[in-house]
Amino acid sequence: MDATDEAMNIAVGAELRRAREAAGLTRSELAAILPFKASAAGLSNYETGKRMVSHWRMVEFCRAVDAYAPDVLGRAIESVESIQTLLVELDLRAIADDDDARFAPIRTWARNRLARVSLESTTVRVHHSVVRELAVLLDMSSNDLVKHLASTASFRQVSGPASTSS
């Protein structure tokens, strides 16, 4: 499995989890109403991208939570496409100054990074997977995080060597 396949599994799983949660169901409750044999642990594997969900199971999953499968898949594709550029540049100062409470964990990360980087530059280049992990930390889709960062001028897709400091 290549990186894009893995990213797509994770994105589809995240969208399936959001759809289940929007329906107000636990994994156990969903497993009980699916037309195929499923367990809460098995659903967790789908939702985390550890296991690829088949097309048919995805459709049945969506029907059970009253979601439209093409929309769920479309959001997952958007999420993957939004972070497919190998590297992104993050403006640490813009992130540190963002006062939106939803982004407090990455604001702390940015402030800690600013304390460690050269004063000449407040930007860092990171692999797109870092953005995906930050989105997981914030419990949001990568696409939503990228949109927010872009709206605050703290995100830019680039090519070139990634920052090696951590």
* H-only helix segments in the chain: 3-22, 27-33, 40-47, 55-64, 69-82, 92-97, 104-114, 128-138, 142-151
In angstroms, the CA 51 to CA 42 distance is 8
The predicted pLDDT at position 35 comes to 93
Residue 1 tokens read as 């499995």
In order of start, what are the domains of the chain with their CATH numbers? 3-81 (1.10.260.40), 87-158 (1.10.10.1930)
Of 63, 83, 88, nearest to 143 by C-alpha is 83
The predicted pLDDT at position 146 comes to 81
Q: What is the mean pLDDT of the chain?
A: 84
What DSSP line would sit under 14-55, residue for residue? HHHHHHHHHTT--HHHHHHHSSS---HHHHHHHHTTSSPPPH
Burial 143-160 (b: 16+ CB within 10 A, else e): bbbbebbeeeebbeeeee
Helix (H, G, I), strand (E, B) or coil at 66: coil
Indicate the residue type of 151: S
pLDDT in tens, 59-97: 999 999 999 999 999 999 888 776 555 577 888 888 999
pLDDT in tens, 124-136: 878 777 888 888 8
pLDDT in tens, 110-126: 999 888 866 677 888 78
Percent share of the chain, pLDDT over 70: 84
Percent share of the chain, pLDDT over 90: 44
pLDDT exceeds cutoff 50 at 161: no
The pTM (predicted TM-score) of the whole model is 0.54
Beta-bridged to residue 124, according to DSSP, are 90
- Which is more confident, 58 or 78? 58
